[in-house]
Amino acid sequence: MRKSFNGLYGLVRDRLGSDPASGHVFLFTNARRNRLKLLVYDGSGLWVCAKKLDKGRFYWPAADSTSARIVLSHEELALLLGGIDLAQTRRRRWRRKVGSEEPAWLRITA
């Protein structure tokens, strides 16, 4: 977790193949899953936010073996940051109206 603005920007651009200035939120964690960093571009510059847990770990969702990224909704991000294990939860069936534009998704990497 030594990377800061330029290092995280490069990871998003080169390793994930995404545009760091897209407005998406990118979330990174260390191997022990007790620290995370969030990278987002707000239109005028980059934000890097960090959190270190005193005890415990973040319950990171399992990644598909073919991809280096996991896409979360903003609700799933809130659960993850709140300490909820996403593997132990399930989505309820209900209708969600989706517009023509892609909704704001979260892109994270392990």
Among 76, 79, 39, 33, smallest CA distance to 58 is for 33
pLDDT at position 10, please? 94
Q: φ and ψ at 21, to 5 degrees?
A: -95, 20
Delimit the domains of the chain by residue range.
5-109
pTM of the entire predicted model:
0.74
**CA 61, CA 8: separation in Å to the nearest integer?**
20
pLDDT at position 93, please? 77
Write out pLDDT tens, residues 37-94: 999 999 999 999 999 999 999 888 877 777 778 888 888 888 888 888 888 887 777 7
DSSP-assigned states of every residue in 36-100: EEEEEE-SSSEEEEEEE-SSS---PPPPPTT-SEEEE-HHHHHHHHTT--GGG--PPP------S
**CA 35, CA 102: separation in Å to the nearest integer?**
29
